[in-house]
Amino acid sequence: MISIPADKYDDFIDTIVKRQKFPSAEEMYAAIGYGGILMSRIMPKVRDEYAKLCKTEDTKTAFDVPIAKEKSSDGVIVEGLDNCLVRFAHCCNPLPGDEIIGFITRGQGVSIHKRDCRNVTAAHYLDENSLRWVRVSWSANVRESFKATLDINCMDRDGLIADVSTQLSNMHIPIYAMNVRTTNDGRVYFVTTVGISNTEHLKTVMQKLRKISDVLTVERQV
């Protein structure tokens, strides 16, 4: 895994940018994102520079180094890029308050994942992906609504669906999807996607749903 200490990161990237003959790091990242340059072309030079750095420096992982604040895109600050295209990964649906990391995709901007997302854990250690992970953080003034999916396990009874829907409505929570499944042992399982502002808001919503009669568990889907 390639990881660069914070005080060496800018110089390291500048060296790669110059070796690839790009006018700026932003244009190099953009070219990687839309597929204009292949990672197989960049990685040998990255490994060369990284080997030089490792001879004199102990390094930290990209997950642990704080990032400098820059302009935010859709509530997220992406290191080295201002106002870039950002999308939130559906595999983990990150919310403000979650620890996050970004991945430069091909043609779809920077994909934002929770740091503990199973796809991040699996992909972060692949050499061909190393340069495409970027440090990101939440903006201090995030006001967007985000989607979160809840798994709700209940005992079956008349009016249960109405009670869950009413509770969400009373909290002014938008419902984007609701799938309900009953079982032969008298259980009802809801998979509900709702609009949430941050992790604290989510905790409040889950606590109120748990207070509904015959609701057994409410968990955030991961």
Q: How many CB atoms lie within 10 A of CB 200?
A: 12
Domain that holds residue 206: 146-220
- The verdict on residue 1 lying in a domain is no
End position of a domain, from candidates 122, 138, 154: 138
* Cβ proximity of 190 and 151 under 8 Å: yes
Does one domain contain both 133 and 154?
A: no
Does one domain contain both 215 and 190?
A: yes
Does one domain contain both 126 and 154?
A: no
- The verdict on residue 79 lying in a domain is yes
- The verdict on residue 211 lying in a domain is yes
Residue 148, SS3?
Answer: strand
| pLDDT in 10s for each residue of the chain, 222 residues | 455 666 677 777 788 777 777 788 777 777 666 666 666 566 666 767 767 766 655 444 444 444 444 455 568 888 877 667 888 998 899 999 999 999 888 777 889 999 988 888 766 555 566 678 888 999 887 777 899 999 999 999 999 999 999 999 999 999 999 999 999 999 999 999 999 999 999 999 999 999 999 999 999 987
